Amino acid sequence: MRVEVRRNYPVKSLTAFKIGGSAENFYLPKTIEELVFLLDRVNNALVFGSWSNVLISSNGIKGDIISTQNLKEIKVDGTKVIAQCGVKGPAISRDVANYGLTGFEFMSGFPGSIGGNIYMNAGANNQCISDNLLKIRVYELKSKKIFEIKKEDLDFGYRTSLLQYKDYIVLDAEFDLIQSDKTSVLKQIQQNLDFRAAHQPNLAKPNAGSVFKNPEGTSAGKLLDEAGAKEFSVNSARVWANHANFIVNSDKNATSSDVLELMLKMYNAVLEKHGIKLHPEVKYFGVKTPREEEICNILYNQN
């Protein structure tokens, strides 16, 4: 089996942040079978979907990268929906709305893919990806086996799941949605989009979504706002003026170092004012400079 591969492929344009260098080996499977073929043979590969919740090093990524962007098949049978791992949130939200199915309205403004959304139990507007999930099919890297995991065994929590602690790659997922009517579902989607436009930067201002997770009992945005973070910037990386838990790449010239320095500045401001250590929601990948290594050790290796 031959799978499309590109060498030293620039990924900047793929990422929500519009930041990143080149991937040494960039694979583009077109089917689940091709994805499994790669996972069987390529060791230690990193798998990316929509590149929406990540910060990629401006110095690039060594080794093998597998992109699931072509794995976007959706099957609808009554209220049951099966989606491949690369399906993007807005696509499936619109698709099931046409069948009068409710449960995916919250993903209408999400740039993330099904695989990544399940990995982090993504949610918004009082809905989350695990609400209507039945089961997922995964590939286990260690055993090189495919098997199903039911929702109740996935240990879902706020922005967490079992997938964050296991060497599993999501292949596809099955959901059971609720029958409604197309008009009301589309109305809810529009309300969600309007809310998102008012409270979060759109992708015309490149960003990776919420920078830090909400601490228990409060919100990261509130803590950051009280710490004066809306005034913070490092070169082209700036805290969004309308919400302190977002970083925007204001002129698309920010580097990974700029973003990390700004994240550290935000983290330190909240720690100093409130005594609370914020935990990043954005994941960092790639070749680190010594300074980036230092910052990542502070932000990502907290006790």
Catalogue all structural domains in the chain, each as residue range(s) with its CATH number.
Answer: 5-67 (3.30.43.10), 74-199 (3.30.465.10), 220-300 (3.90.78.10)
pLDDT at 204 over 80: no
Q: For residues 278 and 183, what is the distance between their CA atoms, to the nearest angstrom?
A: 40
Two tokens at 136?
């997922």
| Cβ neighbours of residue 71 closer than 8 Å, sequence gap 6 or more | 29, 30, 31, 32, 35, 84, 85, 86, 87
pLDDT one-digit tens code per residue, 47-87 = 999 898 899 999 999 999 999 999 999 999 999 999 999 99
The per-residue pLDDT for 301 is 87
Tell me, yes or no, if 281 is annotated catalytic.
yes
Confidence class of residue 111 from pLDDT cuts 50, 70 and 90?
confident
DSSP-assigned letter for residue 244: T
Share above pLDDT 90 across residues of the chain, in percent, rounded to a whole number: 83
Q: Measured on CA atoms in the order 15, 46, 74, 33, is the torsion positive or negative?
A: positive
pTM of the model: 0.89
Strand segments, DSSP code E, in 11-70 are 22-27, 46-48, 54-56, 61-67
pLDDT one-digit tens code per residue, 265-275 = 999 999 999 99
pLDDT one-digit tens code per residue, 209-263 = 899 999 999 999 999 999 999 999 999 999 999 999 999 999 999 999 999 999 9
Local structure of 282: helix, strand or coil = coil
Q: Smallest Cα–Cα separation from 111: which of 165, 42, 181, 50?
A: 50
Catalytic residue among 108, 210, 256, 257: 210
Catalytic residue among 50, 108, 159, 238: 159
pLDDT one-digit tens code per residue, 150-168 = 999 999 998 899 999 999 9
Catalytic residue among 24, 140, 226, 281: 281
